[in-house]
Amino acid sequence: MAINILVVDDSATDRKKIQKMLSEYCVLTACDGKEAMRVLEEHDGINLLILDLNMPNMNGFQVLECLKKDERFKKLRTIIVTNCDELDCEIKGLELGAVDFIRKPIHRATLKARIDMHVALLRAEQALEQQLDTQKLTFDTIFKQAPIGIAISHNCYPQHSNEAMVRINPIYEQITGRTKEELIALGWAKITHPDDVEEDVNNFKRLKAGEIKLYSMDKRYIKPDGSIVWVHMIVAPLTISDEQQYNHICLVQDITERKMIEKALYESERSKSVFLSNLPGLAYRCNYDTEWTMQYVSEGCYNLTGYPPESLLYNRDLSYNDLISPEYRKEIWERWAQVLAAKQQFKYEYEIITAAGEKKWVLEMGQGIYNENGGVEALEGIILDISDRKAIEDILKYNNEHVRWTGLYNRDYLVSLLEKELRLKKNSKMALIGINLGMVQLLTASYGFQYSQNLIKKAAEALSQHCTGNRILFQPRENRFIFYLFDYKDKKELLDFCDVIVETLEAIFVTDRISGGIGILEIEPHQNKVDIDLLLRRLLIASEKYISLFSKDFKVCFYDEELEASVNRERDIMEALTVIATENHASDGLFLQYQPIMNLRTGSIDSFEALARLRTKKLGLVSPLEFIPIAEKTKLIIPVGEKIMVKAFRFLNKLRELGYDEIAVSINISVIQLLNPNFTNRLFELMQEMRIDPKNVGIEITESVFASEYDTINNIIEKLKEAGLHIAIDDFGTGYSSLAREKELQADYMKIDKYFVDDIMAANLSQTITSDIISISHKLGHFTIAEGVEHVVQLQYLREHNCDRVQGYLISKPLDEEEAIKFLKKHGKNVIPGSSKP
């Protein structure tokens, strides 16, 4: 006998799967409620309806309302697929015929077993009816061969009469584990699990009272050994003929295995439910259309969007596309198209607009669901709230791009911006204006770190007022600022803006009398590759050009060809010094000249000052005023300084070999050398290796080095003095040391700067303080050496005021090594007329 089944589901994939699973039956399908009603009208004899309540157009509940009103469908059995207990109650309230329920999500084995059970019942009914009509099939045959348990007129309580009216087939006995006689004697209530008895008894009473037409339930039987067997049971009235008055029929199917599967599935669903309830967002299934029409939305929808899930289902109130911030809609559609074409995972971050009108950042992760032909049937995934993460990312991004103290963009952001701008703005005029406030650090010693930092912050706030659409301010270093300008007119506009900057800074630093430098660097257009670090170095050079310790002004300097030449020259000098520092053998590039120092008391030469000279093939002779600062800046002064000491010691050894063992040589030492932890030990090692007598070695240190690290340096020179070396303070009178500190200096000589010696040539000698310097030095316990003596008048003045030694062109210019020896041999004592006789 043919069994006709109608499957109503909006998913084409699910319809095909069910149709394939029920291949032994005649299966018709419909995609929604309207099509279902049309199929029911056009096809007579549909026995079983599998109906999904959640469908577009006409939903399952509306279909059931229509079925109730039509007498033709009173015997139609219906399996309703639902996930809502409240709807179950409403459907039961319709008082339909044979209605059964399956909860979502559907397990295939469960659905197949449930359908087979209803089909078995249908076939039993059909067979019984056919027996009565045609007498071709006996009732006993159907009863005994049915694949399900059947009990007819089996009462809930023990029966002792009318046993002939009770019919129980072998499968029922097998399921319950008892014989017919035992079952009749016990009644089915006795073998039913206590938790299921009340519901079963109440339903049975309602059935007998005619209140319901049938009932079904899952229940548990207790076998004699105490084990539990789960069954799905359908109980319905049964009247075959006046001669055979059977009051009801009970069909049971063993579903123990299915219940175990359902339990595992429940645990899985429970875990899934816990996951979804704690998910910072929503899970979804939607159509692949421009509105992202939602078929399923989890409860997290409300917390994420402010809308209840049902508002989005099938676009009832609004579509998910309405929630997406407009600027992302096209990009999301294109991204999905790309990943679906490649059958890849979707992952994208974007913003949505909530019911409250606020924007939230979300991360969507999903994938396509494909049908048998490879077409996209639906999309499934999750949408997570990442607003907190984005807020943290924004904070981290801000911190990575800004200076915390001032809030200005930092060097890293400047470099990344310039790299991007140089790629995109090939035809734009671009320039950098660097502001160097390095002199502010001098205030730290006097007023403390916080004072200088507050000044820098004040400067940052003032300069920020000049930012516009084409001017961006950066703070690449603690005491430096850079304006990046683009699309400006010409150099005049740059200079006019620099005047504004100068006016702004002078107003801030007027009371502190701090100066600074402003450098301008125009970036050449149409450059294919630009070294950003080189640009910033050039800008720094331009901003440092006019910075002076004694100036109180802010001056502007363009980086131009002349400055470029200066930078190139500095690089050439640095390269030459690097070669000298790394060569093991003697280099002709670095050599020494020796300027004689005369003792005014004896008129004889008693020492030389060793003066370093540099000669390169490219630059020729380079002044020490030029290469020594470069050597100090690059720290090459340490290896180069050692080579200078070695050359000076060799000269001393040569003098000793010639009999001039009382002549000393003084060597200029940089503060960088002096503060090198290994300096003192290395100096003593060299002297020991070259057999140098400490009394023949003098060390000259510029007075200005004592402005910082005073105690450290004084301790070092004290150690040198204790070893027998002579210590001289160079350029005395031009530094920053107080008289109190001068008294504490562990030095032997004070070298009077040429500035004060030149002052002797002034018309009014009464205003000259040179004699006072000599007097003060003597009172502080130091000898004096006057530098730059070029005139006899100066010599006479110095002798009259008891200066101890002199050097300068009046005595001799700096001499090469051989010339210095010849000078000693030629002059010996009484170098110039007027010196005292021995």
Answer whether 16's CB lies under 8 Å from 42's CB. no
pLDDT at 290 over 90: yes
Please measure the distance between the N-terminal and C-terminal CA atoms of the chain and give it in whole angstroms.
150
State the pLDDT confidence band at 86, using cuts at 50, 70 and 90: very low
Q: How confident is the model at residue 834, as a pLDDT? A: 44
| Helices H / strands E in the chain, number of each | 32, 29
Render pLDDT for 405-441 as a digit per residue (tens, 0 to 9): 999 999 999 999 998 888 887 778 899 999 999 888 8
Q: Residue 313 contacts by C-beta under 8 Å, 6 or more apart in sequence? A: 54, 294, 295, 296, 297
If one compares 325 and 240, the residue with the highest pLDDT of the two is 325
Q: Residue 279 contacts by C-beta under 8 Å, 6 or more apart in sequence? A: 298, 300, 382, 384
Render pLDDT for 520-574 as a digit per residue (tens, 0 to 9): 999 876 666 778 998 998 898 888 877 754 456 788 999 887 887 887 888 899 9
Render pLDDT for 123-169 as a digit per residue (tens, 0 to 9): 766 665 665 554 444 567 767 777 889 998 878 888 655 555 688 99
Answer whether 509's CB lies under 8 Å from 455's CB. yes
475: left (phi over 0), alpha (psi -120 to 50) or beta: beta
pLDDT at 669 over 60: yes
Neighbours of 686 (CB within 10 A): 15
Render pLDDT for 433-491 as a digit per residue (tens, 0 to 9): 999 998 888 788 778 889 989 999 999 999 999 999 999 999 999 899 999 999 898 99
State the pLDDT confidence band at 299, using cuts at 50, 70 and 90: confident
SS3 177: coil
Which of 18-27, 108-117, 623-632, 678-687 is predicted least confidently? 108-117
Q: Strand pairing of 697-702 and 726-732? A: parallel
Looking at the whole model, is its pTM more than 0.75? no
Calculate mean pLDDT across residues 285-308: 93
Calculate mean pLDDT across residues 774-779: 92
State the pLDDT confidence band at 72, using cuts at 50, 70 and 90: confident
Answer whether 472's CB lies under 8 Å from 490's CB. no
State the pLDDT confidence band at 835, using cuts at 50, 70 and 90: very low
Q: How confident is the model at residue 747, as a pLDDT? A: 87
pLDDT at 61 over 80: no
Distance CA 297, CA 378 (A): 13
Which of 200-204, 393-397, 553-557, 736-740 is predicted least confidently? 736-740
SS3 249: strand
Neighbours of 31 (CB within 10 A): 16
Answer whether 263's CB lies under 8 Å from 290's CB. no
Render pLDDT for 88-106 as a digit per residue (tens, 0 to 9): 555 554 555 567 777 666 6
Q: Strand pairing of 604-616 and 620-622? A: antiparallel
Neighbours of 1 (CB within 10 A): 9
Q: How confident is the model at residue 113, as a pLDDT? A: 75
- My answer on whether omega of the bond before 624 falls inside 30° of 0, hence cis, is no
Which tokens in the block code for residue 508? Answer: 């801030």
State which of 74-83, 503-512, 824-833 shows the largest mean pLDDT: 503-512
Distance CA 497, CA 595 (A): 51
> CA angle, 126 as apex, 124 and 131 as ends, to 5°?
95
What type of residue is 200? D
Of 559, 527, 526, nearest to 540 (Cα)? 559
Distance CA 125, CA 142 (A): 10
pLDDT at 241 over 60: no
Q: How confident is the model at residue 697, as a pLDDT? A: 97
Share of the chain above pLDDT 90, in %: 49
DSSP for residue 291: T
Q: Residue 358 contacts by C-beta under 8 Å, 6 or more apart in sequence? A: none
Q: How confident is the model at residue 245, as a pLDDT? A: 52
The CA-based dihedral angle spanning residues 283, 289, 291, 292, taken in that order and rounded to the nearest 10 degrees? 0
Buried b (16+ CB within 10 A) or exposed e, 51-88: bbbbbbebbbbbbbeebeeeeebeebbbbbbbeeeebb
What type of residue is 158? P
Answer whether 15's CB lies under 8 Å from 35's CB. no
Distance CA 199, CA 759 (A): 123
Calculate mean pLDDT across residues 297-309: 92
Of 86, 24, 82, nearest to 50 (Cα)? 82
Q: How confident is the model at residue 75, as a pLDDT? A: 72
Q: Strand pairing of 248-254 and 149-152? A: antiparallel
SS3 486: strand
pLDDT at 838 over 90: no
Distance CA 172, CA 151 (A): 7
Answer whether 284's CB lies under 8 Å from 321's CB. no
Calculate mean pLDDT across residues 271-283: 75
**Mean pLDDT score of the chain, rounded to an integer?**
85
449 to 406, 434, 438, 507, 643: CA distances (angstroms): 15, 23, 14, 21, 39
